[in-house]
Chain A
């Protein structure tokens, strides 16, 4: 590879259950200003940002072409602007492609989602299903995940106790992350007794409703020094989309994640994912997904997710030091949040949760029902 892509800066606001006091434009503008002030990047058409990649969702914003509502506050007027309506981590893949192709030197990536504004986030995700065969039955991302949770738990032997450990740990880790949603600490007993939402998914197994915005400045390796003394490099990216209909898929085979991971590993030259990474961030919208995605990404052998939890694998692999999606990020940004945490760790800026000497990290994102689409990103110091 002739060029590498550097992450020069990240910015985010705190994840909150209901940012009623600020429009999403304001949330984005805070991130935008932070990136500009950290890097001194300009919008000079020769030397500055000529292309902005945004991430937002029409239904969550209740407006079509949702990026139209924000281009002015992210400096996108009079230059290129591309919107990704998938998890924001795909925006990093997009930025990478733009830079490696030589199309652009610098990309500003910025995304938002406010889950608090629609009457129900599940009504929004119901609209992700086809209007003929699935939508009338009330399918949404929660109950689609419940199908997957039951199938995976039956196959893997993961029990309520394992899930409770995942949830309790997520909240403990998040307590050390100043950007994480502030949640009540819970005990394993409380998790196992929390109300059932969609069997076998309980209320505390599901990521809580969250509003958030985040951004990132990416640029080609040669020019990274203009914006930072502490760049982190994107060395691998892969993504894969599984079938549209849930019934076409084997919900437990991690098909798309395996493909996404193997593409990213090939690009980054990762031979053995089990010991390749100093820290890992997985997009666990629901507790069962943490061990399942760990299997799919090859961090543990297939079918070993249960023992991985029992034997302290989450700690040994430094998984989800941010608290994970499970602690609260909005849909669309779970993977981008994972990438931001990985950048924090590699830059040595993760405070109380810092993994000492972290040099190589994996960040993972997923979009669509029950992990239909996966993206895997490898970042290196």
Chain B
């Protein structure tokens, strides 16, 4: 705004004209369908095989009248571009910062501009999948779509081959109790007295009962299947070499570390170690993992 000068007035003005913009038949149908049916619709040019949104009566390429060729779009789509608004201006719908994005709805060939919420500004990326969230109170405008939010997958899959790196590691720790050993005997059918009968166990080289070797070994399963690579992983091979017995009450930590990429098959090799609370190596080995591939 101008500075007041000693010999010049500045008259404040405001170009404001109450006005009713006529949305037209085509625009009205688009807006009422969002408001009343919560459906975003596009218009298809059959000749150009192109679906447009926002709606228009005529295809700009071939001038065909397309005003009756409504197609229902998915209320979900892919972000094709975005910016984070950080400057503040009166014409903005919210106080910045917020994400303004170009969203290509499934079934459309053009992008619609709208707000994206529910994703950290620093994590916003082109290509994410988003879904329309409709406003609680209608204003009969495009803002009846309140915003778009990222579509959260039903399951958070583990690391894909491309996301894994050499040196990544994960572990799981558990105290092995007498009751664990009894249950494992039942599960495996291995009622060997060295695990269950203290008097028999006294005669063994260990001098007391020890856990089944496969019991601490099994602690690697939650690591590989739920942490690294994580959900969706398939393990075609595990090798183990047992180094120390596990006594009742021992706390065992199973650790996996990515050591090698098997590029030809897009598999990875992990080094496995089992240690106890005395920092003794209980067992060691390796696993081959087929990391999860993104679904859909």
Contact = CB atoms under 8 A, between A and B. Distances in A.
A-B complex is real: yes
Contact of A132 (B52, B54, B60, B81): B54
A138 B91 contact: yes
Given A132-B27, A132-B54, A136-B142, A248 B110 contact: yes
Interface of B: 1-3, 5, 8, 10, 13, 15, 21, 23, 27, 31, 52-54, 60, 81-87, 89-93, 100, 102, 104, 110-115, 126, 141-143
Interface string A118-141: 011011001000111111111110
A65 interface: no
Contact of B86 (A123, A151, A195): A195
Contacts of A248: 52, 60, 110
Contacts of A117: 1-2
Contact-residue bracket for chain A: 35 or more
11 contacts: A119-B90, A130-B54, A133-B113, A136-B141, A136-B142, A137-B114, A150-B82, A150-B126, A195-B86, A196-B86, A246-B111
A116 B10 CA distance: 13
A147 B102 contact: yes
B284 to A, nearest CB: 45
Given A120-B89, A137-B142, A138-B89, A150 B83 contact: yes
A199 B2 contact: no
B60 A20 contact: no
Given A62-B13, A132-B21, A247-B110, A120 B90 contact: yes
A109 interface: no
Nearest to B24: A132
A154 B91 contact: no
- Shortest Cβ-Cβ A-B pairs, 7 listed: A247-B111, A146-B83, A138-B92, A133-B54, A20-B2, A62-B15, A199-B84
Contact of A143 (B3, B5, B31, B100): B100
B112 A133 contact: yes
Contacts of A309: none
B81 A199 contact: no
A135 B113 CA distance: 10
Interface-centre pick from A147, A200, A247 (highest chain B CB count, 10 A): A247
B98 to A, nearest CB: 9
Contacts, number: 114
A147 B27 contact: no
Interface in A59-98: 59, 62-63
Interface in A170-212: 195-201
A122 B89 contact: yes
B62 to A, nearest CB: 14
A21 B82 contact: no
Interface-centre pick from A150, A195, A245, A251 (highest chain B CB count, 10 A): A245
A20 B82 CA distance: 37
B85 A143 contact: yes
A251 B114 CA distance: 17
Nearest to B121: A199
Nearest to A201: B83
A123 B89 contact: yes
B2 A139 contact: no
A42 to B, nearest CB: 32
A200 B2 CA distance: 30
A21 to B, nearest CB: 6
A147 B81 contact: yes
B5 A20 contact: yes
A138 to B, nearest CB: 4
B90 A123 contact: yes
Contacts of B86: 195-199
A159 interface: no
A116 B91 contact: no
Contacts of B142: 132-133, 136-137
Given A150-B83, A150-B126, A137 B102 contact: no
Contact of B143 (A62, A136, A150): A136
